[in-house]
Structure 1
Amino acid sequence: MVKIITFIQCTIYVLIFSIHSSVFAQQNSLSIRGQVLDKKTNEPLIGANVSIANDKTGTVSDTKGKFVLSSKSFPATISVSYLGYQTSRISVEENSGAVTVFLLEDMSVLNEVVIVGYGTQRRKELTGSVSSVSQSVLDHVTITFDEMLGGAVAGLNVTQDSGQPGAGSSIRIRGGNSINANNDPLYVVDGFIFYCDNSSTKTGLGGIESNISPLASLNPADIESIEVLKDVSATAIYGSRGANGVIIVTTKKGKRGNNNVNYQYITGTERSAKKLKLLNASQWAELQNDLGIRSFDQSTIARLGTGSDWQNAVLQTGSTQTHELSFSGGDNVSRYLISGNYTKEEGIIIHTDFERFSGRVNFERELLPNFTVGVTVTASNSTQNSLTTFESVAYNSSPYSYGISNSLTYALYVPPVLPIYNEDGSYNFTNPYEHGYLSIGGKAANPVADLTNSVGQSINTSLLGSFYAKYTIAQGLVAKLNAGTSINHTTQNFFAPSTSALGLADVGIAGIGNKRHKAWQMEYTLDYTQTFKKNHFLNLLAGYTIEQTAENSITSVASHFTNEELKFNNLPAGNVIYPPITPYPSESTLNSLLGRVNYSLLGRYNLTATFRADRSSRFASGHRWGYFPSVGVSWNINEEGFLKDAKVLSALKLRLTAGTVGNQEIGDYEYRLTYEAKKYNGTTAYVKSNLGNDYLGWETTVQYNAGIDVGVLKDRLVLVGDVYYKKTSDLLFEAPTSLTEAGTQLENIGNVTNKGVEFALNATIIDVKDFTWNVSAILARNINTITNLGKYDSILLGRDQEEVLQTGEALGSFYGLIFNGIVQNGEDVSLLPTTTFGTPQPGDLKFADVSGSTGKPDGKIDGYDRVVLGNNQPDFTYGFSSSLVFKGFDLFVSLQGSRGNQIYNHLRRFLERPRDSYNASKALLDRWTESNPSTIVPNAKRSYPYSFLDSRYVEDASYLRLKNITLGYTLSPIKQTPGVKLRIFASARNLFTLTTYKGYDPEVARGIDLGIYPTARTFSAGVSLSF
């Protein structure tokens, strides 16, 4: 803390000295005075370069856009330039008074100003790979932040974790780099590190299917721009935080001279885009007959009819509504924006929803000439009611082991012969077909009642506040202090009544979990920008940052309630009370030094060099420092003389970068020996949870990138291409320990590579008065390969060992048997490999005899015959969007898709395995019989002899989705209210998906489908008003 106070004092002394020096220097009167303004908005342009033509004299405009400089003679021609604007030259007479220079925005793509780490750059001078989410996407995607990214940026892959309202997504930039460390990109919002690891909103309480995504606290309507930093030249400035890419979000600010009020209302409905095909009551009865478990005569089967549709009973028509209100404006010395948001989404499964209240204040003010301060405060409160999961909160056995992962999958398994309601309208809780966790002693759970009476609730409150102070010490030299803090508090409440599937065994069970996550950071940077002799542009950045995070949590669970009326609000009422679990509080600190050099010669030859040194408390002494350099060069070939006459070619740039970044996103005390509390038979014991590792080191990623930017017809057509190679070394992995030791141990074990190619195309098809049409398309290919696992040949993962880490294969590879057809009548079964059932019989499954204990086929099917069956990594990802504006009408369409990735359809695997008292997939209607031999579905009695995965259930998950289509109309302003703008619009999301995948949705996080919350098809309409 003493170091922090000293640092702040030094900062204040530097600012005071600089202010005094600057004021003294400005006491000399100068000959030419003026102001630089944006021609379209009349906003002052800060930092514009102003110089006398054919003279070395020059200056930059201040925070009001004003400048002063002297001239040796008159009339004088002054040149005014600014990033992203066309250079202007004007003649000034002696004693002509103050001049006003209006600059027009340069619409050339290469002159676009983009936000990078700790600053901005013209795209023309970039050496790294930086992509921007288009304005049309920002304007038309209004539901979640994740949706803005999907299909919008080449090399960025977004996969929904769940269709549950408020749930998050898995976001990857150029593939996954790590096994156990975090693979999520770094998010920076208005210069502040945004902590959005999904674990930050998980309390450790079981029983809840989904948790609120931290990104759900971001209001899409507040976002001004999104930049995605993909290669090392762009991300190395963030050092150990940049290995997985960086997403920079800039929120809207008020504009000087304009006071605006904006309101938007959206309402809509949503339905499940797909339902699974299950057996009806009579078909289920016939299956039971084939299994030999029960005997239904034909008259009974006919009387059963279709029975109950449990899947349909738990689905509903959901609804959405959103209200947005903002006030913004400013004057010559200040700008402000105040916004508020309310969102409510009723899910497509009964009693699931998400509700958010959020607000934001952005304010900045010029306190003194060349000295500006700003503050941002964001608050959000979100409540999510989700599915309850059947992973037990009491560490008892649960229906999860039977393939029932949540309330939805439970509804798929209930026999359709059971009524949902009794004749008096009450829920039916009886099941004469008793089996396992579907019923106990004739008392059965009811999925509809489960969803109605159970509680799986998460409440998240977040507060983020940041402050900056910026002072221009001298021409081109700017000091900036940026400080901020965030507080994130999550409460999770769980309750499963004694009539529920999970509560049956425990006679009701409830729990409460609380987690608090706090972070603060401070950054001090010095930025120097200058142009020398017109042809040499130099930008220098140096800085120091410190950030600290801390979190703690507690969970409490009770069961066997005599009275369940208070649900989770009265845990002491439980006859079995489990002692609270309080994991050790965790805390981490990251100290960093950073620097960057940007140099441009003649606007053609560009160099960027960065360096960052990070000291992380997450590693043992002697391993805490990591060093991350990078270098990048680019060449604007179209600026060369030999291409000056190529009028069609408006841009041609080559880029090359190389460097190193790191990853420290692991637990805070992984290098230490730690213990955790475990529950055994109602008592608490402390066991080793982590064995510690004094030699634990950084996970580092070396990257190389080559790119090309091409613009033709004044950038009406722009193509950006990149090819890259990344090698991550010293992979962090929770390695298995010896049989005599409990817990795990994090080790550095091997390497993984990602190599690929990306293309992005933007085209302005039509650009005339009252009619514009822009289209964009992206295509990316990434190849992920494990190249080294250290002392391990392979590592099996998952409950059924359905995943494998193996050299030469990708992360997320599936492991199992190769399906080889069905044994047919007349086939010589003595030639077939044996199974755990013995010699295969007609109607049984056949599998390939690949290997044995000696490495050769041995005539029997066992674990040695398992091979890699595919992986969850797509071969290609792609997207397309079109934005058309004609007079007052606007039409936006976006599509996204992937090709070549696989999904392990765990849910289908269980639905196609006939079991006593469980419903099943309609695929079993095509099961093998002597009269139906041409099928891949085995007979009913001997369906599957192994717990191993097999190739039937590793499915192609390629898809093409019409993600968004929006049609709007903006009414022309009327004379009485010229400043009023009114727009009405209608949109559809997830209108259709082309795929061969047999599950609910081909977007499945990690590629394992346990029965995810289905994706909704949404139709909405809205109105926006501004004045």
Structure 2
Amino acid sequence: MPEKAALSDEISTPGPNATVPSDQVVKGTVVDNEKGEPLPGVSVLLKGTQRGATTNPNGEFSLSVPNGDAVLVFSFVGYEPQEQVVGNRTQINIKLKVDTKALEEVVVVGYGVVKKSDLTGSVAQVKSKELNSFPTANVLQALSGRAAGVQVTQNTGAPGGGVSVRIRGTNSIQGSNEPLYVVDGFPIAGSNPTVLNNADIENIEILKDASATAIYGSRGANGVVIITTKRGKSGQTNVDFETSFSSQTLRKKLDLMNAREYATFYNEQATNDGIRPYFTQAQIDAFGEGFDWQDFVFQKAPMKTMSLNINGGNEKTQFAVSGSAFGQEGIIRGSDYNRYSLRTNINHIISKKFTFNLASTLTRIMTQAQNSQGGNRGGSLISAAVSSPPILSPYNDDGTYRVFGTAYSFISALLINPMNPLNEQSNQTKGNRILTNAAFIYNPIPELTIKVSGGIENMDDRTDSYTTNNYINSQGSAGISTSQFTSLLSENTVSYLKTIGQKHNISAVAGFTYQDFLSTSLGGNGVGFLSNTSQTYDLAAANTPGIPTSSYSKSTLLSYLGRFNYSYDSKYLATLSFRVDGSSKYSEGNKWGYFPSAALAWRISNEEFLKNNTFISDLKLRASWGLTGSQAIGPYATLNQLFSGKTVFDDALFTTYAPGTVLPGNLKWETTEQKDLGLDIGLFNNRFLITADYYIKNTRDLLNTVQLPSSLGFTSTIQNIGEIQNKGLELGLNANILTGALKWNINTNIAFNRNKIIKLYGGQDILGGFVDISAITDNRNILR
């Protein structure tokens, strides 16, 4: 928090012989005491009347007052109100002091905020300044190393590639281990925050222990990441434009043979095999260094970002509008990712008791992908870059693609010339993301807040893939696949905040939510095109049309939630929370899951025996316990399902339907029990902050797919079959070494996590599927 300075007045007084008229005009300027900047929009009110004025963009005001006994009241959001007696003055210049209480640091938690000093759970906060301290492709990458116990992994090197986040280890085998992401109060399910612009984010809270995450119930087992985007503020409209440019390169190429070494190696192989060498020494010398396929496949990849942010408002309406563009080329040639987004946040005070909030983000993404994963002998561009022979170049003398297998007998016919897929294959995805959340807030009395909100998350993608006739052994093929995900949310909460006497502070929230999830997909393809002109624009032109595919799934989640916080004299803190989730995914008898939590904290630094201590500025001991869950099954896993197929009978093709799985029966929720013991220490007026947490998490009733004997007529089913444990230690240090004109801040953390499967299959031997042991090119059946 910024340093707070005392209020001071600069007064211009008329001479001793001056007289003050009965109706005089008072002028002046209002500035921020700390920065000295003018404050536009400050209310200057003649006390006891409706007469007033508002400062202009330069912080200036002018107001007519009846006499020298008049009192002016200066008020502005975020600053302490002040009163001034006019007296015989005609010029009053004011420096307003920031309201320390209003700016006390708060932390966003589920369905509310709490003062950081009153926090009983384990929550890490990452602010906007930290997120933008170095360029990253998305916000999740910017979290790497920012919080203890949070592991961020880039799933692929492709531009716009996915990012995995693990908070305190892995909890599930069947289900996702990603945390729940909540953006401006909306729990997103279809997309992820990688489509957000880093510059639009105000702060991120990472909820780690059960007392913080249990209020999200069946979606809180893997932790919760709450993202709050920037809001408008009363006062002068601010326009910020930011742009950045960076470049990515392959950190280190593999040290491979050059052409001379490659030819010599195969000559030695021929000698060992008792056959004549492939190359003469003159040929080997002529090869020289040869062709570097890594330089051909990999490239320097620029990454650029532009963003425009406009925010401002008055005491009634505050707004923040931003637009951004992000472009990233891949380190593999022919791959790129582009993202364009528009964000709007509006807060409007309808009346003293009614407020309206709107947060909306629209995003357009476009991706050009290359086959860069898996495969061998050139089955992907990466394997091709390290497998292609340096003694050969991409083209023959006539300009056609060189076929490696026909050049020399020792080169496999399976090895693909990288130039061929780079030029003759395309895979482009275009998609749209919409995230909108609106809320009406009603305050019948100052202590009570009723909030009714609703929102929509929509994601639609279309992928066009095409292989031309010029591709090796290809007649031309094309495919289109589309997918759409829509989630509708309704949340209704009541919050109560009350201070009783001087020492008792209570806050509570209760409510219910309903969220609906719908996912659909559609695909078509064809093989054999006379011309490359049509590409994916006319699948009917294919000689062999493929079988269309489609899917549909829908589920709902109905929840009741509550939390109660109590603080006595800012020393003894307690939090109780619960959530009850009802899911359409489960069968009768197990549709509802119950997730309570409790936490206690003792602010030792506020005890009398430490109040006069100048060394320890904050010391808090925390302990928490709670249950969270996971819905690690599909929408129809507990229902009898029929699956369609095709079969030939009597020389004709027929559509068939058959049962697909054995009905699992009474599946139970995966449940994670977590215990946490934490310590927060602040030294030398909080210039040094130390946080330590020890936790134990046990996840029971693991959901997993079990293979069945073929004699049953089914291949698999789902069962609750095991238990996983995570235990670990987290340590964090934040040190503000220098706080003057030259700032020096150190933020470091370290975490240890041990993940262990305690029990699997209940001790029973379960038949596994076939696993290819490629080292001996044979199949082995794995038991348990």
TM-score scaled by length of structure 2:
0.82
AA of the residue aligned to 2:162: G
Aligned-pair CA distance for 1:142: 4.2
* Residue of structure 2 equivalent to 1:612: 579
**Pairing of 1:259-408 with structure 2 (within 5 A):** 259-292=237-270, 295-299=277-281, 300-388=283-371, 400=375, 402=376, 406-408=380-382
User: Which of 221, 225, 228 lines up with 2:199 in the alignment?
Assistant: 221
Aligned-pair CA distance for 1:685: 6.1
Distance (whole Å) between structure 2 residues aligned to residue 592 and residue 699 of structure 1: 17
AA of the residue aligned to 2:133: H
Deviations 1:239-286 (A, max 9, x none): 111000000000001110120111112223332112122233333334
* Residue of structure 1 equivalent to 2:140: 146
Root-mean-square deviation (CA, aligned residues, Å) is: 3.5
Distance (whole Å) between structure 1 residues aligned to residue 434 and residue 674 of structure 2: 36
Distance (whole Å) between structure 2 residues aligned to residue 696 and residue 403 of structure 1: 44
Change over 3 Å in CA distance of 1:170–1:438 after alignment to 2: farther
AA of the residue aligned to 1:691: V
Aligned-pair CA distance for 1:511: 1.3
User: Which of 583, 587, 608 lines up with 1:641 in the alignment?
Assistant: 608
Distance (whole Å) between structure 1 residues aligned to residue 717 and residue 411 of structure 2: 35
Deviations 1:885-906 (A, max 9, x none): xxxxxxxxxxxxxxxxxxxxxx
* Residue of structure 1 equivalent to 2:727: 755
CA contact (8 A) 1:43 1:255 kept: no
* Residue of structure 1 equivalent to 2:212: 234
Are residues 1:421 and 2:395 paired? yes
AA of the residue aligned to 2:278: F
* Residue of structure 1 equivalent to 2:504: 536
382-391 or 183-192, larger mean C-alpha shift: 382-391
Distance (whole Å) between structure 1 residues aligned to residue 204 and residue 147 of structure 2: 10
288-297 or 711-720, larger mean C-alpha shift: 288-297
**Pairing of 1:602-1001 with structure 2 (within 5 A):** 602-676=569-643, 689-740=660-711, 741-768=713-740, 770-791=741-762, 800=771
Other structure's SS at 1:140 match: coil
Change over 3 Å in CA distance of 1:389–1:713 after alignment to 2: closer
Change over 3 Å in CA distance of 1:236–1:734 after alignment to 2: same
* Residue of structure 1 equivalent to 2:71: none
Aligned-pair CA distance for 1:801: 6.3
Distance (whole Å) between structure 2 residues aligned to residue 596 and residue 43 of structure 1: 39
Change over 3 Å in CA distance of 1:403–1:473 after alignment to 2: farther
CA contact (8 A) 1:286 1:296 kept: no
Aligned-pair CA distance for 1:227: 0.4
Change over 3 Å in CA distance of 1:326–1:539 after alignment to 2: same
AA of the residue aligned to 1:418: L
Distance (whole Å) between structure 1 residues aligned to residue 167 and residue 373 of structure 2: 32
Identity, % of aligned positions: 33
AA of the residue aligned to 1:759: L
CA contact (8 A) 1:243 1:701 kept: yes
696-705 or 188-197, larger mean C-alpha shift: 188-197
Aligned-pair CA distance for 1:193: 1.1
Aligned-pair CA distance for 1:287: 3.8
CA contact (8 A) 2:128 2:201 kept: no
571-580 or 244-253, larger mean C-alpha shift: 571-580
* Residue of structure 1 equivalent to 2:189: 195
Deviations 1:149-190 (A, max 9, x none): 111010000010112111111110000100010110000011
CA contact (8 A) 1:763 1:775 kept: yes
Change over 3 Å in CA distance of 1:436–1:132 after alignment to 2: farther
Are residues 1:470 and 2:441 paired? yes
AA of the residue aligned to 1:727: N
Change over 3 Å in CA distance of 1:219–1:795 after alignment to 2: farther
Deviations 1:774-821 (A, max 9, x none): 11101000000000002456889998568xxxxxxxxxxxxx99xxxx
Aligned-pair CA distance for 1:738: 1.8
Other structure's SS at 2:548 match: strand
CA contact (8 A) 1:445 1:499 kept: no
Change over 3 Å in CA distance of 1:691–1:793 after alignment to 2: closer
* Residue of structure 2 equivalent to 1:410: 384
CA contact (8 A) 2:347 2:357 kept: yes
Distance (whole Å) between structure 2 residues aligned to residue 415 and residue 685 of structure 1: 49
User: Which of 465, 480, 485 lines up with 2:451 in the alignment?
Assistant: 480
Distance (whole Å) between structure 2 residues aligned to residue 552 and residue 298 of structure 1: 62
Change over 3 Å in CA distance of 1:436–1:330 after alignment to 2: farther
Are residues 1:598 and 2:565 paired? yes
Deviations 1:558-599 (A, max 9, x none): 22333233333332232222211112x100100000010000
* Residue of structure 2 equivalent to 1:172: 166
Distance (whole Å) between structure 1 residues aligned to residue 480 and residue 129 of structure 2: 43
Aligned-pair CA distance for 1:463: 1.0
Distance (whole Å) between structure 2 residues aligned to residue 794 and residue 505 of structure 1: 46
* Residue of structure 1 equivalent to 2:555: 588
CA contact (8 A) 2:424 2:467 kept: yes
Other structure's SS at 1:412 match: helix
Aligned-pair CA distance for 1:758: 0.2
Aligned-pair CA distance for 1:44: 11
AA of the residue aligned to 2:255: K
Other structure's SS at 2:296 match: helix
Distance (whole Å) between structure 2 residues aligned to residue 575 and residue 686 of structure 1: 28
Aligned-pair CA distance for 1:689: 4.5
Distance (whole Å) between structure 2 residues aligned to residue 225 and residue 186 of structure 1: 16
Other structure's SS at 2:547 match: strand
AA of the residue aligned to 2:389: P
Point out where structure 2 has 5 or more consecutive residues left out of the alignment.
1-30, 43-76, 86-93
Other structure's SS at 2:609 match: helix
**Pairing of 1:1000-1015 with structure 2 (within 5 A):** none
Distance (whole Å) between structure 1 residues aligned to residue 413 and residue 759 of structure 2: 48
Are residues 1:130 and 2:123 paired? yes
Q: Report which structure shows greater RCO (CA 8 Å, sep ≥6).
A: 1
User: Which of 140, 152, 157 lines up with 1:158 in the alignment?
Assistant: 152
* Residue of structure 1 equivalent to 2:175: 181
Distance (whole Å) between structure 2 residues aligned to residue 495 and residue 162 of structure 1: 22
511-520 or 678-687, larger mean C-alpha shift: 678-687
AA of the residue aligned to 1:258: Q
Distance (whole Å) between structure 2 residues aligned to residue 319 and residue 490 of structure 1: 25
Change over 3 Å in CA distance of 1:89–1:643 after alignment to 2: farther
AA of the residue aligned to 1:304: F
Other structure's SS at 1:301 match: helix
Aligned-pair CA distance for 1:409: 1.6
Deviations 1:338-371 (A, max 9, x none): 1111111121111100011110111110111121
Change over 3 Å in CA distance of 1:428–1:297 after alignment to 2: closer
Equivalenced residues, count: 699
Distance (whole Å) between structure 2 residues aligned to residue 587 and residue 140 of structure 1: 41
Distance (whole Å) between structure 2 residues aligned to residue 137 and residue 405 of structure 1: 41
Q: Give 1 or 2: higher strand fraction.
A: 2
Distance (whole Å) between structure 1 residues aligned to residue 179 and residue 41 of structure 2: 35
Other structure's SS at 1:561 match: coil
Other structure's SS at 1:239 match: helix
Aligned-pair CA distance for 1:424: 4.8
Distance (whole Å) between structure 1 residues aligned to residue 473 and residue 396 of structure 2: 23
